[in-house]
Structure 1
Amino acid sequence: MQINGSIVLYNNDVELLKKAINSFLNTELEVKLYLIDNSPTDNLKYLSSIDPRIEYIFNDANLGFGKAHNVAIRKSIENEVKYHLVLNPDVYFEKSVLEELCGYMQSHHDVANIIPKTFYPDGRLQYLCKLLPTPAGLVVRRFISSDKLIKKVNKKYELRDFNYDKILNTPFLSGCFMFLRVECLKEVGLFDENIFMYMEDIDLNRRLHKKYKTIFYPNVSIVHVHAQESYKRKALLMSHVKSAVYYFNKWGWFFDGFRKNKNKEVIRLIKKINKKL
């Protein structure tokens, strides 16, 4: 059984990128890694010589996050590969993570996507289980300067009442690490290529969650450097805004029944979990 993975490149920190590459390849499982390069030049092509399990694809254009990953995911579909890992270039992890996740997916056929517990390099937890976003919530988190209000919104949105040590089926999981069942992607579709960057992970996960489980799995962990570039660079902020507008036009700004019901369902589930503690 083969597991394919893909990392989208764009003028990356090479040493950090190598940690991501080595993390994926450090396994006894049969794996293949696609490096999909959106950079202006193919200077990173030499990375394909690190290991024969790497295939480098130079796009000669910046296709965006989701469209570039789709290049590799389509190869997984064509080759009838069972699982595909969408991996950020700033994520690294210990050996056995892939084995553990693969074992869980093998015994839970109703799971379409899974992400492990995730930490910053300094050991702080990243709150990557989220509710489906609302327009008001995104505006507060990106444009309002009130720390008190942002903290209140994040407490609910990032499910901070959840202690992140139990398995949870939630409609929004971060796109930094998406261990995907390819058969499910064939049914619901790949990343929406109308989204250049940001929100594409939410869009795909909600489509998967509508028919399958999308699981937070705390029994293994990864490290995500997570620079939050859209908070620092105006061009990326505008890309985030454009993606958000497209997302809400697609799924609904104020009337999104799926969002309303699923968010309530997750909150109820967390309350039930907390009562058992």
Structure 2
Amino acid sequence: MVTASIVLYKNDENVLLQAINSFLNSKTNDIIFLYLIDNSPTDELKRIISHPGVEYIFNPSNPGFGAAHNIAIDRAMKKGSQYHLVLNPDVYFDGNVIEGLLCYMNKNLDVGNVLPKVFYPDGSIQYLAKLLPTPYDWIGRRFNPFKKMVEKRNQTFELKISGYDKIMDAPYLSGCFMFLRIDTLRKVGLFDDKIFMYGEETDLCRRIILAGFRTVFYPKEVIYHHFEKGSHKSWHLTKIGIQSAIYYFNKWGWFFDSERKIINNRTLKSFGK
């Protein structure tokens, strides 16, 4: 069984339906089931779909992105799911993606999380496989006015040096599409619900690696992501992002983080760096 969850919050219905139908129309022999966790103030989005393979859960207390997905993952575990997809409401893909990822995961039992190649709707690539972040990557880079300096760092931090054309182990994979092995989650735990939004996927990827599993970028399958970069448009969301970064670095280490150094150096070494 493959389950998935989408966390809702006052979403554009047309974009949301693209995400829902992408998963429900997957061409696979495995049973699929989708959870919609609605953190919106009202349950207006409840009417968006009625389907036997969908469970809508209204959660207006809005505990955050990771905490809401945890509700679905906990139910998926009890349902006997083998894989769970954490899916953003602004992502869409064709019917073969899930089956392609299932084949890869079934053949590679040491992989705990996989991310396909991600494009914008216009076909340009998104660089969403990264190194574990330093404080500069998450805070300083955001406010650095010297764009050439930022881009130079991005070549390494966003692993652009890889060419994004081959399967690779990347320690920090985007939370827009996390294809997770349930057995891995049973060992490492779910999202840290103390992180309201932004950075929860980084924390989970790191725990997956430290437990001995791999986090893999898999470009043989592709998805599309509208990717609005809300934190770059709203000071409220920027504040949430900074708070999440502070929590993450307090948890794992700021400038002195030996595990980060080991993991990142191992990744760069695979590219001859």
Give the match's secondary structure for 1:161.
helix
Taking the aligned partners of 1:172 and 1:79, their CA distance within structure 2 comes to 28
- Deviations, residues 40-93 of structure 1 (Å, cap 9, x unaligned): 0000001241x2111000012211100000000000111221000000000000
- Equivalence for 1:240: 241
Give the match's secondary structure for 2:149.
helix
Structure 1 alignment gaps of length 5 or more = 273-277
Give the match's secondary structure for 1:113.
strand
Deviates more, 1:189-198 or 1:130-139: 130-139
- The answer to whether the 8 A contact 1:6-1:33 is kept is yes
Give the match's secondary structure for 2:161.
coil
- The answer to whether the 8 A contact 1:48-1:56 is kept is no
- Equivalence for 1:70: 70
- The answer to whether the 8 A contact 1:140-1:150 is kept is no
- Equivalence for 1:8: 7
Deviation at 1:271, TM superposition (A): 2.4
- Equivalence for 2:93: 93
Give the match's secondary structure for 2:224.
strand
Taking the aligned partners of 1:156 and 1:267, their CA distance within structure 2 comes to 8
* Equivalent AA in structure 1 for residue 94 of structure 2: E
Taking the aligned partners of 1:225 and 1:141, their CA distance within structure 2 comes to 22
- Deviations, residues 208-257 of structure 1 (Å, cap 9, x unaligned): 12220111001010001100000000110000000000000000001111
Taking the aligned partners of 1:75 and 1:129, their CA distance within structure 2 comes to 28
* Equivalent AA in structure 2 for residue 236 of structure 1: L
Taking the aligned partners of 1:177 and 1:197, their CA distance within structure 2 comes to 15
Give the match's secondary structure for 2:70.
helix
- The answer to whether the 8 A contact 2:26-2:94 is kept is no
- The answer to whether the 8 A contact 2:7-2:88 is kept is yes
Question: Taking structure 1 as the reference length, what is the TM-score of the superposition?
Answer: 0.95
Taking the aligned partners of 2:245 and 2:107, their CA distance within structure 1 comes to 35
Deviation at 1:115, TM superposition (A): 0.7
* Equivalent AA in structure 1 for residue 204 of structure 2: L
Taking the aligned partners of 2:174 and 2:87, their CA distance within structure 1 comes to 11
Identical positions, percent: 52
Taking the aligned partners of 1:253 and 1:94, their CA distance within structure 2 comes to 40
- Equivalence for 1:119: 119
Taking the aligned partners of 1:179 and 1:10, their CA distance within structure 2 comes to 22
After TM superposition, the structure 1 = structure 2 runs for residues 178-193 of structure 1, keeping only pairs within 5 Å, are 178-193=178-193
After TM superposition, the structure 1 = structure 2 runs for residues 21-60 of structure 1, keeping only pairs within 5 Å, are 21-29=20-28, 30-49=31-50, 51-60=51-60
Question: Taking structure 2 as the reference length, what is the TM-score of the superposition?
Answer: 0.97
Deviation at 1:136, TM superposition (A): 2.0
Give the match's secondary structure for 2:46.
helix
- Would you say 1:165 and 2:165 are equivalent positions? yes
* Equivalent AA in structure 2 for residue 199 of structure 1: G
- The answer to whether the 8 A contact 2:19-2:92 is kept is yes
After TM superposition, the structure 1 = structure 2 runs for residues 204-215 of structure 1, keeping only pairs within 5 Å, are 204-210=204-210, 211-215=212-216
What is the CA RMSD across the aligned residues, in angstroms? 1.0
- Equivalence for 2:229: 228
- Equivalence for 2:155: 155
Taking the aligned partners of 1:125 and 1:231, their CA distance within structure 2 comes to 19
- The answer to whether the 8 A contact 2:139-2:245 is kept is no
Runs of 4 or more, structure 1, over 4 Å off, are none
Deviation at 1:4, TM superposition (A): 0.4
- The answer to whether the 8 A contact 1:140-1:149 is kept is no
Structure 2 alignment gaps of length 5 or more = none
* Equivalent AA in structure 2 for residue 117 of structure 1: K
